Amino acid sequence: MSRALDPLEPTSGALKPSKAVARKLTSAGPALTGLGQPIAPVFAAMAVMVLVVLAITYARSADAVAALWGAGGLAVAVWLRTSRGALYDLSFGGLIATGFAAGNLLAGNSLELTAMFTVANMLDVFVAVLLARRFAPTLNLASVQGACRFLLSAAVIAPIPAAAFAGGMLWWMNGADFLDTARTWWFGHTLSVAVIGSFGLAVTRREVARLRAPARTAEAVVLLGGLTALSVLVFTRTAIPAGFLIIPVLLLIAVRLRMIGVTAALVIVTILAVGGSMGGYGPYGMFEGPDRAMMAQLLVLFGYLPMLLVAALLEERDRLSDRAKAGQVRAERASEAKSRLLANVAHEIKSPVGGVIGIGELWKAGQLGPVSSTQAEMADMLVKTARQVEALAHDLLDVARAESGAVKVELRPTDVPGVLEDVRRTTALRPDAQGMRLDVVAEGDGLVALADSQRLTQVIANLASNAVKYGGEGGVVLFRASKIYDGVRIEVIDRGAGLSPEKQTQLFEPFNRLGLERSTVEGHGIGLALAKRLVELQGGSIGVISTPGEGATFWIELPAA
C-alpha cells in the first residue's frame, strides 16, 4: 500500500534529532513516529466505540442497521491521516476492530451480531482506505479532482461490498429484508465517509492556523451557529419541506470558510437532518420505517454534499490565483531588472560611440592629416556604422524607459493628417525610398486624436521605415487616416511580400526579426516593440493585417480629442 502523508505532521526543523536517534526511532516501529502516533489509534478506537453505541442506540432504521453511522468515517479519516506502513496498518486495524466489537456489545447486540457487524464494518473501512490510497493518494480535497476521486472511491464504491455482506447475513440470521438493510447500510456509511471522513481530511494545520485569527474565528462561529439554528428549525420544529433554505447558507460558508467550514457544516446538517427524521420530527417524520431516514439521507447526499465540490473549486481557484500573483511578481521583477540592464547598456554604449563618430568625422574631413580616397571611404563607413550603434542605444534606452514607466507622454489634440504628411516627407528623403510613391489619404474632416505628437511621429516613422525596408518591392506606401466610432485610425500600408499568421503573432516581440537576421535589411527587432509600448502609453492600440503576397497594413487606433 502507498504511504499517505500526514498533513498535521510537524515539518519545522527547530528540534531535529540526530541521525542515530532517528534510526532508533525508525527501528522501533511506526508507532513511535508522527503526530501522537502511540495515542492516535487508541483514541480512534475509543471514539469508534462511543459512536457505535450512539448509532445503535438512537439511529437504527432497517432491522439492526443504523441510518447514521459516524464510526466508519472517523476510522477511515484517522487511518489515512496516520498510516506509516504495514505494521501500523495491522495494529490500527486490530484496535479499530476492537472498538467496533466493544461498541456492539455495550449497545446490547448478541455475540453473533457483534461478530458479523465487526467483520462488515472492518470490510467497509478497509476497502475505503484501500481505494482512497489507490485513486486519491494525495488525500487533497482542496481540488475538484482530488475531492471527486476521494468521494467516488472511498464514499460511493467502498461501502457496496460491506452493504451486500451485512444485508445477506441479516437475511440469513434474522430474515430481514435484504434490499432495505443493504440500502440503509450503504446510505449510512456513504454519508459517514463523505461527511465525517472529509471533515477529518480537511482539518490541516494550514486551515486551523487560518481560523486562529479573531475575525475569522468570530465569522466561523456566527456562520456555523446560524446554520445550526436554521437546521434545528427546518428538521425538528416544522413539517414544511424547507430544506432548500440550508443551501444558500452552505454556499456562503463555502465562499467564506472554504473546505474546513463546509465539511464542519455538513456534519452539523447531517446529524440534525437524519437524527430529526429518525426521531419523527421535521418534514420526513411522517414517513414510516426505513423510508423516513432514507429521505433525509438523499437530501444530504444529493442536495448538500455537492457543496464540497464548490469549496474544492474555490480552494483550487485560490491556489491558482496565488500562483499567478507570484508569477506576476517574479515577471515584474525580471522585467524591471531587464529594463535596468538595457538602460545601463545603452548609457555605456552612447559615450564611446559618440567619441568614435567624432573621430570618424575628423578623419573623413582630413583634419587628422592627409586622407586618401580609400581612407575617406573607410571613415565614412566607420561613421555610418557608429551612428547605427548610436541609434540602437537610443532605441534600447527608449525601450527601457517605456517598460519602467519613465516615459512621460503629454496628451493633447494632435492633427493626424499633419503628422502623416511630416512623416511622409521625412521618409521620402531616405535613400531606400527613392523611386517609391508615398501618399497620404485623409478620409473625412476633424481627424484630431488625443496623443503625444512627438511620440506619435516616432511610432509612425518606425512603421514607415519598415514599410520602405520590407515592402519596398511593391513600389507604394500609403498613409491613411480615418474616423472610427470613438477615435481615429491610422494605417501604414505597403504592397510587399506580406506576413504569415505565425509571423504576425511574433511581430511585436522585442529583438525578434522573424528570421531576417542574416538578410541585407538592417534592423535590430526592437522598433515595433517600442512602438507598441508608446501607443499603449497614449491610450491606444496597434496591430497588423496581412496576407502573404498581398502586403501588410499596420494600424493604430487612438482616442479622438
pLDDT tens-place values along the chain, 561 residues long: 334 444 344 333 334 444 443 443 333 333 333 344 568 889 999 999 999 999 888 877 666 788 778 899 999 999 999 888 888 899 999 999 999 999 999 998 999 999 999 999 999 999 999 999 999 988 888 889 999 999 999 999 999 999 999 999 999 988 888 998 898 899 999 999 999 999 999 988 888 888 888 999 999 999 999 999 999 999 988 888 888 999 999 999 999 999 999 999 999 999 999 888 888 888 887 777 677 788 888 999 999 999 999 999 999 998 889 899 988 888 878 767 766 776 676 667 777 877 788 888 888 777 777 878 888 788 888 877 877 777 777 767 766 666 666 677 789 999 999 999 999 998 888 878 788 888 999 988 888 999 988 889 989 988 988 888 877 676 888 999 999 888 899 999 988 888 888 887 777 776 565 545 444 445 456 778 888 888 888 889 998 888 888 888 899 999 988
d(CA 421, CA 436) in angstroms, rounded, equals 16
For CA atoms 532, 538, 539, 542, the dihedral sign is: negative
Nearest to 266 by CA among 246, 285, 283: 246
Say what the pLDDT of residue 262 is.
94
Q: Residue 549 belongs to what H/E stretch?
A: none
Say what the pLDDT of residue 4 is.
41
Q: What are phi and psi of 546, to 5 degrees?
A: -155, 150
Contact 462, 502 (CB under 8 A): no
Say what the pLDDT of residue 491 is.
92
Contact 484, 546 (CB under 8 A): no
Contact 473, 497 (CB under 8 A): yes
Which pairing describes strands 552-559 and 487-494: parallel, antiparallel, or unpaired? antiparallel
Say what the pLDDT of residue 126 is.
95
d(CA 115, CA 480) in angstroms, rounded, equals 91
**Grid coordinates belonging to 198:** 472529509
d(CA 214, CA 376) in angstroms, rounded, equals 82
d(CA 182, CA 176) in angstroms, rounded, equals 10
Strands (E) in 309-396, as ranges, are none
- First-last CA distance in the chain: 72
Number of C-beta neighbours around residue 215 at 10 A:
7
Give Cα 328 distance to the centre of its chain: 13
Contact 513, 523 (CB under 8 A): yes
Say what the pLDDT of residue 404 is.
63
d(CA 140, CA 151) in angstroms, rounded, equals 11
H-state helical runs in 192-289: 198-202, 205-211, 214-236, 246-278
**Grid coordinates belonging to 218:** 468570530
Residue 343's SS3 state is helix
Q: Residue 544 belongs to what H/E stretch?
A: strand 541-546
Contact 488, 539 (CB under 8 A): no
Nearest to 80 by CA among 178, 10, 144, 7: 7
Amino acid (one-letter) located at 48:
V
Say what the pLDDT of residue 191 is.
92
Cut 0.95: pTM above it: no
Q: What are phi and psi of 37, to 5 degrees?
A: -60, -40
What's the burial of 75, exposed, middle or buried (CB within 10 Å: 0-12/13-18/19+)? buried
d(CA 63, CA 184) in angstroms, rounded, equals 10
Say what the pLDDT of residue 19 is.
44
Contact 453, 490 (CB under 8 A): no
What's the burial of 444, exposed, middle or buried (CB within 10 Å: 0-12/13-18/19+)? exposed
Q: Can you tell me which residue has the cell 516615459?
A: 407
Nearest to 448 by CA among 561, 539, 542: 561
Amino acid (one-letter) located at 75:
A
d(CA 220, CA 261) in angstroms, rounded, equals 7
Half-sphere exposure of 68 (CA within 13 A, CB side): 28
Q: Can you tell me which residue has the cell 521620402?
A: 428
Say what the pLDDT of residue 489 is.
92
d(CA 515, CA 94) in angstroms, rounded, equals 71
**Grid coordinates belonging to 306:** 455537492
Say what the pLDDT of residue 21 is.
39
d(CA 446, CA 469) in angstroms, rounded, equals 31
